[in-house]
């Protein structure tokens, strides 16, 4: 497990971040918000606000990660950061996040010719199909289905009730108008350090593979159809739907409940707003929103 209930010293946090500690070295017991701060708490302040100074004066026995504007103005222990929220997240991951114990639950089912890396975790009632590859230190939570031939990289997290690699929705009508299923012979390839939320579905490719790049983060209840490519470090938020053969660039954000039409390309470093319906391809570096999507501005 992680150090959720163990104290870490403020100096240890500063050293881990490669920064100086200002003030007294003290035990840090628990991360908390400023509104619910406790003695020995760790907080972050991402923007300078003079009204917060009086609140901080009431909490001298805490440690804070703050912007440079706070230097010399607060009496608690603190670390100066250009991005306090990011450094706070790094500290939480390092010192306060419980770690799943590697192993396969008794109720999990593992298919034939499965390759499992070191320190893999597979939760209760999860099903791993035949010829699946799962990289080192990847965690598969409970009631997950990983279909045949899926490849998952290292340091990934697949949350509960997610389905990866089942056939997509592909049909062609015959002479009588009866829908005939098109067999899906591709697979899903997921890169390293990818997170996939609960109750998300990623279909397998028809002939080509579905590819999810390194460091992609996918929220709960997202649907990704067949033959989709998602570039590295992109983020896809809850209830987004990506139709077949869409191509999403790198470092792109797809907002909640947005829809991407089949065959559409969205460039890199784009921001697609909440509920947007993307019916035409978009270039790199745009902010788009609306139904249908329209470009609001260009990212610098």
User: What span, in angstroms and rounded, lies between the C-alpha atoms of 42 and 35?
Assistant: 12
The catalytic position among 59, 184, 226, 247 is: 226
Strands 157-158 and 163-164 come out as unpaired
Query: What is each CA distance from 16 to 64, 93, 102, 187, 246, in whole angstroms?
Result: 15, 12, 25, 40, 40
Tell me the three state secondary structure of residue 235. Answer: strand
Q: Rg for the chain (alpha carbons), in Å?
A: 23
Q: How far is CA 231 from CA 211, 221, 235, in A?
A: 8, 19, 9
**What single-letter DSSP state applies at residue 134?**
E
Contacts of 73 (CB under 8 A, 6+ apart): 53
Distance, C-alpha 18 to centroid of its chain: 25
User: 247 an active-site residue?
Assistant: no
Distance (Å, rounded) from C-alpha 199 to C-alpha 159? Answer: 8
Side-by-side strand order, sheet with 133-134: 115-116, 133-134, 151-152, 188-190, 210-212, 229-230, 247-248, 265-266
- Indicate which residues carry an active-site annotation: 226
């Amino acid at each position: 497990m992680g150090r959720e209930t163990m104290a870490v010293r403020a100096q240890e946090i500063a050293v881990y971040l490669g920064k100086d500690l200002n003030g007294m070295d003290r035990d840090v017991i628990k991360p908390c918000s400023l509104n619910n701060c406790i003695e020995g708490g760790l907080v972050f302040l991402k923007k300078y606000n003079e009204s917060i100074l009086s609140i901080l004066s009431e909490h001298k026995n805490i440690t804070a990660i703050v912007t440079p504007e706070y230097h010399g103005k607060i009496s608690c222990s603190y670390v100066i950061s250009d991005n306090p929220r990011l450094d706070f997240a790094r500290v939480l991951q390092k010192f306060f996040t419980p770690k799943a114990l590697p192993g396969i639950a008794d109720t999990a089912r593992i298919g034939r010719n499965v390759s499992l890396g070191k320190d893999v975790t597979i939760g209760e009632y999860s099903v791993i199909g035949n010829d699946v590859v799962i990289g080192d230190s990847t965690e598969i939570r409970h009631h997950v289905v990983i279909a045949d031939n899926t490849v998952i990289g290292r340091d990934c997290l697949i949350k509960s009730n997610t389905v990866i690699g089942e056939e997509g929705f592909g049909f062609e009508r015959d002479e009588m108008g009866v829908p005939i299923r098109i067999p899906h012979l591709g697979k899903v390839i997921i890169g390293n350090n990818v997170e996939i939320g609960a109750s998300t579905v990623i279909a397998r490719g028809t002939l080509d593979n579905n590819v999810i790049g390194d460091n992609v983060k996918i929220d709960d209840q997202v649907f990704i159809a067949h033959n989709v490519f998602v570039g590295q470090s992109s983020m896809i938020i809850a209830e987004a739907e990506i139709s077949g053969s869409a191509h999403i660039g790198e470092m792109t954000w797809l907002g909640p409940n947005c829809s991407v039409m089949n065959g559409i390309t969205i460039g890199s470093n784009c921001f697609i707003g909440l509920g947007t319906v993307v019916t035409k391809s978009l270039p790199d570096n745009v902010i788009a929103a609306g139904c249908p999507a329209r470009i609001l501005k260009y990212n610098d």
